[in-house]
Structure 1
Amino acid sequence: MKKSMTLLSGVLLSSLLFTACSNEGASGSSASSGSESSATGQAASAALTELYKAPDLSKLPAAAQQRTDTIIMALTDPSGAFTPYFHQSGYDGNVSSLLFASLVTTNDKGLPAPNLASSWDISDDQRTYTFHLQKNLTFSDGSPLTADDVAFTWTILHDKAYDGDSLIPALGIEGSQEYHDGKADSISGIKVTDPQTISVTIAKPNATALLTLGSDVLSKAYYGKDYSFGHLDYIKDLHLKPLGNGPYTLEKFLPGQEVRFTANEHYFKGAPKTKNFIYKTSEGDTWQYVETGEIDFAAFSATQENIDKLKSLGFVNILPYTGSTYSYLQPNLEHDALKDKKVRQAITYGLDRQSIYVDANQGAGELANIPAAPISWAYTQDGINPYAYDPEKANQLLDEAGWTAGSDGIRTKDGQKLTIHYLGTKSPQTDVFIAVATENFKAIGVDFQPEVFADFNALVSKVEGGDYDLASFSTPMLTDPSDGLTQFLDGEVKGYNNPEFVKLYNEALATSDIEQRKQIYAKIFKLLNDDLPVIFTNYKKTVYAYNGRIQDLRVSPFNGIAASVPDWNLQK
């Protein structure tokens, strides 16, 4: 399952940390299933609107005081596929985000900004992109990083054996199909001018092409040493031995325990200020690890309960944050019942999302009904169905869809019961969901069968096997509005195929005019709000809690904290 949109797990909201995503199960609090009023919850979550600085660092636990060159962060256990473009989960992406740097990054407004590429030129017809690399770039072993490495990276993503989730192949680089079909030895649309200059010509204008092409760069000498067309399995052997160009290098991966990094002395922006960095697996133990000083950074749902508890520690800074993500329930559209739009709509009407995602989290969330976050320039609520909790409407739709209640109250059709097999990960939020959904679904004649996993990767395997009806997901950071739509286009949401969506999706990418794109995305959002290929649930409000000694931590609505990690340092 090459999902950039992955399931939440534990208490950490790691989708908000870097560019990966996390499980919908995490509230990060000791949230109860009781519900406060929406107004009270919203007021509580709004209580912290700016950075709260630790008032008393003398309370810092000894374990944290003694660290001088190491910062430890909580993370859900990754799978170990640390090669960009080949990740098995978003948590792998969290790891590789410290190991690799991209050609182009984004600023705090979500607009393209230089990184490995110092600048770029775009042709008048918006089809040819020329990247100019920074001088004297190297990989972490000191070997040079040149335009040939960029060309190699783009090329292998068009190999017929590539089955990852990169969007670069979708750009239609000239000659890429011939290469994919084995009719050419190289891709004609990729041209290396000199070691610092490379150009690429795509089939038609695409508003996201610059950032899509400007992704991570793989070493041709390292990752291409054993490459031959049609054979990419060898890269799996390199996943745990990555050669990158980012701020850190991988020192050791201990599955289920931690990922250790050390500073890359060859990093083009200079070695990170803190020599060592550790991701510590902390599912279910995050609060304990923060309180004892075993970790320096974690993210929690922005409930007043969490904020008050964090303030009481005295030694943590607390930073409120709302990212450019959305969460959703993914129905298995390959199952007969869920193929029917009326059934999906009925489930949405019949689920008290307000109680689950807002009230039970003391307002640390907002209901979502479209695949875009409120901070996006394309966000709109015009013409959008809010799907307010309405069991009567749900029952009406199920009646219309031909599902009739049996003697036990469960609806049937053609001899089959209307069953929802739900997959979740162990967490307080999952407990709340199951408690409310059990009652809600019973009221509309749905047989609800929840299954909870302690291990995230085990849950992913279950989803891959197709043995489920609903599973909770959350997106990674969404820079462009199109980022939140790719799952409906590339088969990630299996069974969804709407030609009108594809048409509008392509129209929105064919122009760089923001106002034109806004109008098209408004149509897309309205279409998906009606189709419900997924059931949109919520936007999360988060607080980052971190050791008061950490200096120079910054956060971006579109990039989280990733860009600032190399600048973090521990105040003495």
Structure 2
Amino acid sequence: MNKQWMRITVPVLALALVLSACGGNKAATEPDSAPKAETAGSTGLTSVQDGLVKASDLSKNPETAKKRTNTFISGTQTPEGIFNPYFYQNGWDGNVTSVLFASLVTKDETGKPIPELAEKWETSPDQLTYTFKLKPNLKFSDGSPLTAEDVAFTLTLLHDPAYDGRVDIAQANIKGGKAYKEKTADSVAGIKVVDPQTIQIVTEKVSTLTLPLIGGEVLSKAYYGKDYKQGNLDYIKTLHDKPLGAGPYKFDKFVKGQEVRFVANPNYYAGKPAVENFIFKITNNETNLQYLKVGETDFDRFTANRDNYDQLKAIGFANINTFTATSYVYLDFNSGGKLLKDKRVRQALYYGLDRQKFTDILYQGFGEVANVPVSPASWAYTKDVTPYPFDPQKAKQLLDEAGWKVGADGIREKDGQKLKLQYLGRKGYNIDDVLIPLAKENFKDIGIAVEAEILDFNALLAKRKKGDFDIASFTSTNFSDPYDGVKSFHSKYNVSGYSNPAIDKLIDQGTETLDTNKRIPIYHDLYKQLKDDPPVLLLSYLKILSAHNARIEGINPDPVSILNRSIPKLKIQ
């Protein structure tokens, strides 16, 4: 599974302050190691390119950090405590599982699949059969052996009739998987343990989704499969807060709202990590910079903008990494609701919102307006889709055509109903601090009212699932494949009422060949059709800004894994 590092924080920004602070090309005067800048955006802000800025003054390193010689502390946000890679719903729980569990197959910094627990794998000429050879002498963190039986158990569990987690193993098309799910078979026919080090998976359909699905994290059959019976996962769910994996660290304890603690795994396949203790400390946009500054944390992510960048540089002892994210910021539409069912209204919202201003205010040259649901860093990205300009007159025209007429109070109405949008925002997600006032102002100009409600993340998700909203703000996770950026638009997976058979067909076609050159035109066609019938309002592509105490060696963040790949290699000077 592709494990994502979900750290998003945004400071509250005042428009006048931001625009005055970011008017000059400051990055052009930085040393050679600094990210370069080029002019971009409607306000003349500078667009900062990817790069590393090394610490300028290690003597500023606080005593609190220097005394911590065998413990690494990373900031994160609010895990819930479901520490199983196949059951968590909260992405911060996913950060925790990435430390505890290891996969058959992982991905390099470009998103290319590479072996992890697997020594190698082979694919049959018809691309339907996968044979994995495990690395020798693999063990779970408790010292028990990790074999092909554990892989088979994991894949069988995902086909269980009672499995209700986040992974749709049906997309792997394993032979006999459907029969097991429907309880017409007592095993999955396409899963074959050849010997303790070898497992063979037979599929019925070629798909780009198969390898990442069957090459995911491995669960211990002895631990999680104790007394396992088809159709009953009650026992497994009791272990969510007592995880056992084969990753670089072992679980120690979780103090909700405060921290998650780990200790180095002596049985890790790549060798016990040099740093004995690892801690996820709960931080937020009001505390993360201060914690790093005083030495309470060693690593964190920050919203990539000039304010944060300059403050991090001023710390002196921090190494700063800036790189293009594989994610995007967006507003989800309730396409199944009465107000946004007509695609002309959704198109009008695109024309009616000044997305360039939003991007400039929030990211100050560290972002750009998003026009297709894939990052510019992806091979599937294209500029051939004509972007929506900021055009309030066009927005008004579309709303008129859709039958929404301006009322006496300036708000449009139709069939006795006002065009008043319920906006769901998130506590601690200060993208909304910029977006809500801008959306209210822009949309009022075209005759649309906005009422905002700020919730904690889980409450927001619950309201969206019930359809109790019109628009809701999100940042996607980091994607290593373009399918990940459009999957939620498929009617099979969409939770916001969006359904378009032509879109479904193209999304499916994009996964039905392993040839990247054949996938490219499919995605480009898909993006054009999504522009015409938009399921979301794309806002910005962004850069990832991370910083770490320079006394820590081995941190090389990248767009795919952020910190994950570095964790086993960390050393403290």
Normalising by structure 2, we get a TM-score of 0.92
1:273 aligns with 274
* Deviation per residue, 1:120-164 (Å, 9 max, x gap): 110111111111111111111111111111111111111222222
Per the alignment, residue 175 of structure 1 pairs with 176
Q: Secondary structure at the match of 2:327?
A: coil
Number of the residue aligned with 1:388: 389
Find the counterpart in structure 2 of residue 248 from structure 1. Answer: 249
- C-alpha contact (below 8 Å) 1:493/1:533 kept by paired residues: no
Task: Measure how far apart 1:199 and its partner are.
Answer: 0.9
Q: What's 2:99 paired with?
A: 98
State the distance in 1 between where 2:412 and 2:115 align: 57
Partner of 1:11: none
Aligned equivalents of 1:564 and 1:259: distance in 2? 18
Superposed CA offset, 1:294-350 (max 9, x none): 111111223222222111111111111212112211112231111211111111111
Does the residue aligned with 2:339 lie in a helix, a strand or coil?
helix
Q: Which amino acid aligns with 1:424?
A: G
Q: Do residues 547 (structure 1) and 553 (structure 2) align?
A: no
Deviations 1:436-486 (A, max 9, x none): 111011111112011123x33333333334322211122222112112121
Q: Is the 8 A contact 1:99 1:248 kept in 2?
A: yes
Provide the rounded CA distance (Å) in 1 between the counterparts of 2:457 and 2:221.
33
Alignment CA distance shift 1:41-1:111 (3 Å): farther
Q: What does 1:343-492 align with in structure 2 at a 5 Å threshold?
A: 343-382=345-384, 384-425=385-426, 426-453=428-455, 455-489=456-490, 490-492=492-494
Q: Secondary structure at the match of 1:542?
A: strand
1:32 correspondence with 2:32: no
Match of 2:529 in 1: 527
Amino acid at match of 1:466: G
In structure 1, the residue matched to 2:303 is 301
Deviation readout 1:72-94 (Å, 9 max, x if unpaired): 11111011111011112111111
Secondary structure at the counterpart of residue 266 of structure 2: coil
CA shift at 1:41, angstroms? 7.1
Does structure 1 retain, via aligned residues, the 8 Å contact 2:41–2:360? no
**Shift, 1:510, TM fit:** 1.9
Distance 1:532 1:40 in 2: 24
Could you list the runs of 5+ residues in structure 1 that have no partner in the other structure? Answer: 5-14
Paired residue for 2:33?
Answer: none
Counterpart of 1:560 in structure 2 is 562
Residues in 2 aligned to 1:41 and 1:132: alpha-carbon distance in whole angstroms: 55
The answer (yes or no) to whether the contact 2:324–2:544 under 8 Å persists in 1 is: yes
2:363 and 2:542 in contact (8 A); partners too: no
Q: Is 1:501 aligned with 2:503?
A: yes
The 3-state SS of whatever aligns with 2:149 is: helix
Amino acid in structure 1 at the alignment position of 2:14: S
Q: Name the counterpart of 2:232.
A: 231
Q: Mean Cα displacement is larger for which, 481-490 or 32-41?
A: 32-41
Structure 2 distance, partners of 1:56, 1:240, is 41
Aligned to 2:132: 131
Q: Report the identity percentage.
A: 49
CA distance 1:245–1:41, change in 2 (3 Å): farther
Distance (Å, rounded) in 1 between the aligned partners of 2:253 and 2:52 = 33
Structure 2 distance, partners of 1:32, 1:202, is: 55
- Shift of the 70–492 alpha-carbon distance from structure 1 to 2, 3 Å rule, reads farther
Shift of 1:39: 4.4
**Cα deviation, residue 49, structure 1:** 4.2
Residues 321, 541 of structure 1: 8 Å contact kept = yes
Shift of 1:42: 7.1
Q: 1:178 touches 1:187 (CA, 8 Å); kept in 2?
A: yes
> Which one-letter code corresponds to 2:405 in the other structure?
T
Q: Name the SS of the counterpart of 1:337 in structure 2.
A: coil
| 3-state SS, counterpart of residue 338 of structure 1 | coil
1:229 & 1:339 partners in 2: Cα distance? 41
1:192 aligns with 2:193: yes
How big is the shift at 1:532?
0.9
CA distance in 2, matches of 1:306, 1:71: 22
Cα deviation for residue 20 of structure 1 reads 4.3
Which structure is richer in relative contact order (CA contacts within 8 A, separation 6 or more)? 1
Is the CA contact (8 Å cut-off) linking 1:41 and 1:362 kept in structure 2?
no
Counterpart amino acid of residue 289 in structure 1 = Y
Per the alignment, in what secondary structure is the counterpart of residue 217 of structure 1? coil
Which secondary structure does the structure 2 equivalent of 1:279 belong to? strand
For 2:60 and 2:126, locate their aligned partners in 1 and report how far apart those are by CA, in whole Å.
61
Contact preservation (8 Å) 2:333, 2:496: no
Counterparts of 2:145 and 2:442 in 1: how far apart (Å)? 59
Matched-pair contact (CA < 8 Å) for 1:79–1:457: no
Q: Offset at 1:40?
A: 8.5
Deviation readout 1:342-390 (Å, 9 max, x if unpaired): 11111111111111123442122111121111011111021x1311111
Alpha-carbon distance in structure 2 between the residues aligned to 1:32 and 1:282: 23
- Flag the 1:22–1:333 CA change in 2: closer, same or farther, 3 A: farther
Specify whether residues 414 and 450 from structure 1 end up closer, same or farther in structure 2 by C-alpha distance, changes over 3 A only. same
Whole-angstrom CA distance in 1 between matches of 2:359 and 2:146: 46
Aligned-partner Cα distance in 2 for 1:494–1:132: 41
- Deviation of 1:66 after TM superposition, in Å, equals 1.3
Selected match of 1:342 from 341, 344, 358: 344
Whole-Å separation in 2 of the counterparts to 1:134 and 1:119: 8
Deviation at 1:114, TM superposition (A): 0.9
CA drift at 1:43:
5.5
Structure 2 spans left out of the alignment, 5+ residues? 24-39
* Corresponding residue of 1:318: 320
2:148 pairs with 1:147 = yes
One-letter amino acid matched to 1:549? R
Q: Secondary structure at the match of 2:461?
A: helix
TM-score with structure 1 setting the length: 0.92
**CA–CA distance in structure 1, aligned partners of residues 386 and 161 of structure 2:** 41
Q: Secondary structure at the match of 1:321?
A: strand
Larger displacement relative to structure 2 (459-468 or 410-419): 459-468
DSSP 3-state at the match of 1:298: strand
The residue identity in structure 1 corresponding to 2:158 is: L
For the 8 Å contact 1:78–1:92, the answer to whether it is kept is yes
* Cα shift at 1:205: 0.8
SS of the aligned residue for 2:326 comes to coil
Partner Cα separation in structure 2 for residue 494 and residue 198 of structure 1: 39
- The 1:471/1:530 distance shift into structure 2, 3 A limit, reads same
SS in 2 for 1:511: coil
- 1:21 is displaced (CA, Å) by 3.2
Q: Aligned partners of 1:101, 1:130: CA distance in 2, in Å?
A: 18
